[in-house]
Amino acid sequence: MRWILGILLGIAVLLYIVSFFIDEPLRRMTERKINRDLKGYSVKLPGLHLALIGLSLTLKDLTIIQQAHPEPPVAKFPVLKASVHWREILSGRLVGELLLDRPRLHINLLQLRSEATSKVKLKERGWQQAVEDIYPLKINTVTVNDANITYIDEDPKRPLVLSHLNLEASNIRNIHLPDKVYPSSFHLETDIFGTGRGVIDGKANFLAEPIPGVKAGFKLEKIPMGYFKPMLARSNLAIEGGVLHASGDTEYAPKIKKAHLKELTIRGMKLDYVHSPATAGAEKRRAAVVGKSAKEVSNKPGILISVDDLSLSGCNLGMVNREPGKTYRVYLADTQFHLSNFSNQFAQGPAQARLDGKFMGNGPTHVTGAFRAEKQGPDLDLYVKIDNTQLTSLNDLLRAYGNFDVAAGTFSLVTELHVKNNAITGYLKPFFKDMKVYDKRKDKEKSLFHKVYEMLIGGVAKLLENRPRQQVATKADISGPLQRPHTSTWQIIVELIRNAFFKAILPRFEQEYTSAGKR
């Protein structure tokens, strides 16, 4: 027994010593093989250690570089350790386990665009072969400790950072529970942008064909929305502030694609849609793509998109126009918005929406709507009521489209719109009360011609007044077929409001002014 123990001890010491002698040749060979197999990327491997006792391989300070944009490196791995998953030896399977300790991923917009425009497909980049170059065994378990992922869009001062990310994925090779739809399990948790927190728990079948299948639940807390400002700007959205909370689940597999948002709440956000002549073409193309995509997924078998509850609280929502000579912002302040039972499947029933706020910061506003998944086109009912908005807060808009402003008065609006079977019906009825267009003190710097014009507009208001209520009222009926039946529901709403307000109310008012002048 002493001789046997002595021999085993001697072999162990010999293997330990030998392992240090083979580290450097093995490091050079591994680095060379990985660089040979990768396309578009290269690696630097300063250190490697092979433990012959235990058959584990540790890579030290492995760095991955995108050749098109080498700075900064895409990833750094202080410690990457691959070893035999000894517990599975009892199951008769020889597989490996992978440990990534404190990895750092750093990605920017240029690197992403280079990846997106590359003619080499992802599966042809050689990543799978590179992993096999590192360790020949199939990986069955992956553990990531304290990872850090940084993405920089257009503003390097506001990076998107996932920190303290931990991940555990087991049974990747489906050794256990092979008959289950999702035999593997995984858990991920991370800090988001410093103050936020995210957790994902799920199951998967990583070996499913033609794509892996995943089913998971997620929870997001205290996500600061301001960090998305550079990305949203590319969609003509300007955002400030706001905190997001969300929870839900998703399933993505060869036969089913499901996204279920149980709850999403955003508080304290200011969000503007910004229109400008420079982006007008892109806006139209984007709207067409959104409308087409919405049509494609509407009632499509195997795809379920649903929202149980979506809420905006204390938000400021606006639209900004930056056309030369027509600069203005219309908005809703103190917005409380609630959407429930939204789905892309008609069988799920209509979605219900409710909005309360203050138009232009002072006019109490109430909106309700019902939306159904589109079969032959948009299907919605919309009711809007705006009370006693101070007209002076609309002066930028009145100057843009009516070439006049006001010194006093209030504006109210009632509208009802229905869209079904590619046809629109409804009406839009605005009220102008106690409107005072010309004020000598306010307008003393204006030209004589413009003063006369505003006095005439004010005179028209008097002619149109409903005497008992001292208000100007007109009604714009809206009816007819949809010119573009594939337009999305949200695009229909925006265009209806814009066309009714800018192309019905103000021209109608101007028309009355012309008729009054002739009389």
pLDDT of residue 196: 95
Tens digits of residue pLDDT in 405-445: 788 888 888 888 888 877 878 887 878 788 777 554 455 55
* Of 512, 484, 249, nearest in space to 377 by CA: 484
Average pLDDT over residues 297-323: 90
What does the alpha-carbon distance between residue 237 and residue 119 come to, in Å, rounded to a whole number? 31
- SS3 of 447-498: the string is CHHHHHHHHHHHHHHHHHEECCCCEEECCEEEEEECCCCCCCHHHHHHHHHH
Tens digits of residue pLDDT in 142-191: 999 999 999 988 778 888 999 999 999 999 998 888 888 899 999 999 99
Kind of pairing between the strands at 56-66 and 41-44: antiparallel
Has residue 395 got a pLDDT over 70?
Answer: yes
pLDDT of residue 507: 47
pLDDT of residue 377: 67
pLDDT of residue 446: 52
What does the alpha-carbon distance between residue 275 and residue 494 come to, in Å, rounded to a whole number? 13
Contact indicator for 453, 399 with CB cutoff of 8 Å: no
Residue 100 tokens read as 């990534």
**Banded pLDDT at 329 (limits 50, 70, 90):** very high
Element (H, E) at 116: helix 109-117
Has residue 269 got a pLDDT over 70?
Answer: yes
pLDDT of residue 450: 44
Tens digits of residue pLDDT in 73-105: 999 999 999 999 888 887 788 899 999 999 999
Residue 137 tokens read as 């065994």
Residue 509 tokens read as 């008012």
pLDDT of residue 374: 67
Amino acid symbol at 216:
A
Tens digits of residue pLDDT in 224-254: 998 888 888 888 999 999 999 999 999 998 8
The string of DSSP codes covering 160-213 is EEEEEEEEEEE-TT--SSTTSSS-EEEEEEEEETTTEEEEEEEEEETT-SSS-E
Strand partners, 413: 386, 430
> Distance between the two ends of the chain, CA-based, in angstroms?
124
Average pLDDT over residues 321-338: 92
* Of 190, 214, 188, nearest in space to 201 by CA: 188
User: Does the predicted model carry a pTM greater than 0.85?
Assistant: no
* Of 289, 319, 152, nearest in space to 229 by CA: 152
Has residue 500 got a pLDDT over 70?
Answer: no
Contact indicator for 64, 75 with CB cutoff of 8 Å: yes
Long-range CB contact pairs, 97-101, < 8 A, 24+: 97/139, 97/140, 97/141, 97/142, 97/143, 98/135, 98/139, 98/141, 98/142, 98/143, 99/143, 99/145, 100/142, 100/143, 100/144, 100/145, 100/147, 101/145, 101/146
Residue percentage of the chain with pLDDT more than 70? 80
What does the alpha-carbon distance between residue 444 and residue 154 come to, in Å, rounded to a whole number? 46
Tens digits of residue pLDDT in 8-22: 666 565 556 655 568
